[in-house]
Amino acid sequence: MEEDDDHGSVFLPTTGLSECRKRWTQVDGIGTPPPPRVSHSATVIDHKLYIIAGGRFDGRQWISCDDVFAFDFTNCQWKALEITGVTMPRRRGHSAGLVSNRYIVVFGGTTSLYTQDNRNDTWMLDTVDRCWTPCLHTGEYVPLPRRGHGCFVKDNRYYVVFGGDVWDPEKQTLVTERSVHVYDLQNKAWAKVLCSGTVPRGISLFQGALVGRQWIVFGGNQLPKDIAEHEDADEEEQAAYQESQDPNGPTVNNGLWAMDIDTFRWRKIEGLNAPLPRFCHSLASFGAFCVVFGGSRDSSTSYNDLHIVDLSPFLSTTDTEDPGTAALVHWVPVHALGEPPSIRNGHSMVCFGNKFVVFGGGKLSPPTYYNDMHCLRVDINLQIEPAPDPLLADLGNMINDRTFADVQFCLDGPQHVYAHRCILSARSGYFNAMFGGAFAEAQLQEQAKVHCTQEGDSSSSLIKVHVEDVPHDVFLQLMKYIYTGDMPSDDVQMVIGLLDCAHKFVLSRLRSKCEAILSTYVTHDQVVSLLQLACGYNCPHLRTVCLTYIHAHYSEVVGHLDDVEQTVRQEIEQIRQGL
């Protein structure tokens, strides 16, 4: 496989994924691949694909794995990871999520054919140090043991689990769960989340993928009983279930759902030409597209078909008006060039650059298991969207940080603000003159009510700048503007304070921005005070806006003009008379 330069960037298709040319090829890797298996997990980190656990049925019993294999896309080489220390117990049907592009967190799964052997333990694999660590949890709450569930990781901190086959120890029966559980990796605690919107019925053996801030779920298996019938569901959950779902729905489904990962609100996505219902399939996302491959309808019917759906119409809408509906999306069956993977389920599929990589899987009848790898290459024009540059955020973090600071602003009272001469001088001619030795004019110092003292030699000294009549919060906002160019637009008093700073420190661009913002607040009640500000701080644009407003609404504001200077009153009269 060719190497793709995809570090630090997001690939966005510039044309439809369903229209471009696609070709299947089998990947003949070097080294020893993992033994054949199903129900494993596959995670991409940089240029490596990590295959964790899984299992196969030998005709008498399930044999689950505890191994970890890595496939290097740059040289197509398989390598078994030699784990140091404790090893995660064997399992299949677990979930796995990536944290900080280094750690793989695994939850749940099962070790045998019997659901009583489901697990609810959590483990973290450090792919650099090659060691497993059990994730302990504080508090009494932990999700019930399960298999066939799904997960995603939010903001490198929250491990979110949904669905799966759960054994009810009290009723001694198997149920499919519909609740969402969150494990806080920082505080090491589980919590159950009450979702809103149209919550799907309990499902297992489905597949999910993140598309932006939406978690997309497709297909899966639904048992006759789900968690809504379980005593764990409270009255509010029961009501949401009865109101939003058809209790007589199919056992195997082809529904498409989305959950907002910030609000935990579900929406059903209506789709045309959807794939046949299936479970144990694979799903991967690419930009706004989702790709589905393979899976099974029942023990005798499996697939190796390929389907693509463009979620753009859905992603561009909100559900504020009708939480039960969304924009219509269109599924497209895809016939790629080359030889596709054989019919299978329980496999994995990941997206790597402009390639979809399928590994392993098997079929139910007759029982067959694979450890082959296939690549679907997508010949599509890609625009590379670089990761957002954190420069402004990094500069903002330097504000009032004493580390490497060489300026201390001493405000009225005991409050101080630390800053950096190089940034202040580059952004302001006033401060450049101050720190460059040309700040000797007493008139400038008196105007700003500022004076400087220097401690130590010139190379390592801390310059203390004493500033009068500027509140602490306003001065911090002034520093934020100087460091990042950011300023508030919804706090009039803060903008007025910044206008005063712009006048004190001769910041003409800041003054113009303040004028523009204050011009949007000209009303019957504010126009006189803003006009006085415009006159006092020499703001011609704001002054013109205020005078024009007074002329247009003279009868409404004439009662507020008593405090306006005589020269301004004369100017208003001249405007009214058209002179």
Tens of pLDDT along 411-451?
A: 987 889 999 999 999 999 889 888 876 554 444 455 455 66
HEC string of 486-554? CCCCCCHHHHHHHHHHHHHCCCHHHHHHHHHHHHCCCCCCCHHHHHHHHHHCCCHHHHHHHHHHHHHCH
List pLDDT tens digits, range 145-156.
999 999 999 999
Measure the CA–CA gap between 485 and 368, rounded to whole angstroms. Answer: 62
Q: Quick check: 327 pLDDT over 80?
A: no
72 and 185 belong to one structural domain = yes
More confident residue, 171 or 352: 352
Q: State how far the alpha carbon of 170 is from the alpha carbons of 173, 174, 230, 397, in Å.
A: 8, 11, 10, 53
Q: Is the peptide bond before 143 cis (omega within 30 degrees of 0)?
A: no
126 and 249 belong to one structural domain = yes
Range name among 72-76, 458-462, 543-547 with the lowest pLDDT average: 458-462
Kindly give the pairing relationship between strand 48-52 and strand 450-455: unpaired
344 and 486 belong to one structural domain = no
286 and 358 belong to one structural domain = yes
HEC string of 424-489? HHHHCHHHHHHHCCCCCCHHHHHHHCEEEEEECCCCCCEEEEEECCCCHHHHHHHHHHHHHCCCCC
pLDDT value at position 517?
94
pLDDT value at position 414?
82
List pLDDT tens digits, range 43-83.
999 999 999 999 999 888 889 999 999 999 999 999 999 99
Q: What percent of the chain has pLDDT over 90?
A: 55
pLDDT value at position 6?
39
Range name among 44-53, 233-242, 253-262, 474-483 with the lowest pLDDT average: 233-242
272 and 413 belong to one structural domain = no
Confidence tier at 361 by pLDDT (50, 70, 90): very high
Measure the CA–CA gap between 92 and 52, rounded to whole angstroms. Answer: 9
Residue 246 lies in a domain: yes
pLDDT value at position 264?
95
Q: SS3 for 146?
A: strand
- 551 and 574 in contact (C-beta within 8 Å)? no
Structural domain of residue 575, as residue ranges? Answer: 522-579
pLDDT value at position 380?
65
pLDDT value at position 230?
40
Measure the CA–CA gap between 97 and 159, rounded to whole angstroms. Answer: 7
DSSP class per residue in 239-263 = HHHHHH--TT--SB---EEEEETTT
73 and 191 belong to one structural domain = yes
Confidence tier at 2 by pLDDT (50, 70, 90): very low
Residue 161 belongs to a domain with what CATH number? 2.120.10.80
343 and 490 belong to one structural domain = no
User: Into how many domains does the chain fold?
Assistant: 3
Domain boundary among 446, 481, 508: 508
Measure the CA–CA gap between 435 and 115, rounded to whole angstroms. Answer: 73
Residue 2 lies in a domain: no
Q: Quote the longest CA-to-CA distance of the chain.
A: 102
Check the CA dihedral 73-74-78-82 and report its sign.
negative
The predicted model gives 348-364 an average pLDDT of 93
Q: Residue 532: what are its φ and ψ, rounded to 5°?
A: -65, -40
Please, what is the Cα angle at 495 between 490 and 497, to 5 degrees? Answer: 145
477 and 539 belong to one structural domain = no
Residue count of the chain, please give it: 579
Average pLDDT, the chain: 84
438 and 373 belong to one structural domain = no
What are 32's two structure tokens? 């020893």
Residue 542 lies in a domain: yes
